[in-house]
Structure 1
Amino acid sequence: MHPPFRSLTAVLSATFLTALFAILPFQALAATDSIVLGMGCFWGAEKRLSEIPGVLDVESGYAGGDAERTSYREVLNLEKRIQRGKSDERNHAEVIKVTFDPEQVSLERVLIGFWENHNPTQGDRQGNDVGSNYRSAIYFNSEAQRAVALETRDAYQQALSAAGLGPITTEIAPLRHYNRAETYHQDYLVKNPDGYCGLGGTQVAYPGAAAGPADQAARTQPSPRLDAKALNAERQLIVFEAEDCPFCQQFRTEVLDGWSSEVPVISTLNPRPPEGWTLEKDLFATPTMVLFEDGKEISRYTGYKGDKERFWQWLGFQILTPEQQRIAFEQGTERAFTGSHLDEKRPGVFVDPITGAPLFRSDTKFESKSGWPSFFNPVEGALTYHEDNAYGMRRTEVRSASSGIHLGHVFDDGPPPTGKRYCINGNVLSFVPDAD
Structure 2
Amino acid sequence: MAISSSVLISACGDGEAAAKASRPAMPAVTDSIVLGMGCFWGAEKRMAAIPGVLDVESGYANGDIAGTYDAVLAHERMRQWGKTSLRNHAEVVKVTFDSAKVNLETVLIQFWESHNPTQGDRQGNDVGSNYRSAVYTHDASQQAVALKTRDAYQTALTAAGLGRITTEIAPLEKYFTAEEYHQDYLVKNPDGYCGLGGTGVKYPGASSAGQSAGMPPLDPATLDLQRQLIVFESADCIYCQKFKADVLEHWQSPVAIARSLSPQAPAGWTLAKALFATPTIVLFEQGREVSRYTGYNGDTGRFWQWLGFHLLTPAQQKIAFEQGTEYPGTGSHLDEKRPGTFVDPLSGAPLFRSDAKYESGSGWPSFFNPLPGAITLHEDDSHGMRRVEVRSASSGIHLGHVFDDGPPPTGKRYCINGNVLKFVPDKAS
- Answer whether TM exceeds 0.5 for this pair: yes
| Correspondence list, 1:14-163, <5 A | 28-67=26-65, 69-163=66-160
Give 2:368's match in structure 1, choosing from 373, 376, 381: 376
- Deviation, structure 1 residue 52: 0.4
| 1:115-173 deviation digits (Å, cap 9, x = unpaired) | 00011111222233222222111111122212211111111111111111112121111
Tell me which of the two structures has the higher relative contact order, counting C-alpha pairs closer than 8 angstroms and 6 or more residues apart.
2
| 1:14-62 deviation digits (Å, cap 9, x = unpaired) | xxxxxxxxxxxx9645210011111111111111001101000111111
Question: Is 2:243 the partner of 1:262?
Answer: no
Amino acid at match of 1:244: D
Determine the structure 1 residue equivalent to 2:351.
359
Give the 3 Å change call, closer, same or farther, for CA 411–62 of structure 1 in structure 2. Answer: closer
| 1:243-267 deviation digits (Å, cap 9, x = unpaired) | 1222222221121111001121111
- Aligned-residue Cα RMSD (Å) equals 2.2
Structure 2 residues not aligned, in runs of 5+: 1-23
- Deviation, structure 1 residue 219: 5.5
Determine the structure 2 residue equivalent to 1:297.
289
Question: Is 2:228 the partner of 1:236?
Answer: yes
Give the 3 Å change call, closer, same or farther, for CA 57–327 of structure 1 in structure 2. Answer: same
Residue 422 of structure 1: SS of its match in structure 2?
Answer: strand
Determine the structure 2 residue equivalent to 1:431.
423
| 1:334-386 deviation digits (Å, cap 9, x = unpaired) | 11111011122222110011111111111222222322112222212212223
Query: Quick check: 1:199–1:271 contact (8 Å CA) kept in 2?
Result: no
Give 1:385's match in structure 2, choosing from 377, 380, 385: 377
Structure 1 residues not aligned, in runs of 5+: 1-25, 210-214
Residue 388 of structure 2: SS of its match in structure 1?
Answer: strand
What is the number of residues matched between the two proteins? 405
Query: Quick check: 1:57–1:98 contact (8 Å CA) kept in 2?
Result: yes
Give the 3 Å change call, closer, same or farther, for CA 124–254 of structure 1 in structure 2. Answer: closer
- Deviation, structure 1 residue 178: 1.4
Query: Quick check: 1:360–1:375 contact (8 Å CA) kept in 2?
Result: yes
Determine the structure 2 residue equivalent to 1:346.
338
| Over 4 Å off, 4+ runs | 26-29, 215-219
Determine the structure 1 residue equivalent to 2:20.
none
Determine the structure 1 residue equivalent to 2:239.
247
Amino acid at match of 1:37: L
**Distance in 2 between residues matched to 1:169 and 1:397, nearest whole Å:** 53
Give the 3 Å change call, closer, same or farther, for CA 36–359 of structure 1 in structure 2. Answer: same
Give the 3 Å change call, closer, same or farther, for CA 77–383 of structure 1 in structure 2. Answer: closer
**Distance in 1 between residues matched to 2:26 and 2:335, nearest whole Å:** 82
Instruction: Give the helix-richer structure, 1 or 2.
Output: 1
**Distance in 2 between residues matched to 1:123 and 1:393, nearest whole Å:** 55
Bigger radius of gyration among the two: 1
**Distance in 2 between residues matched to 1:338 and 1:370, nearest whole Å:** 11
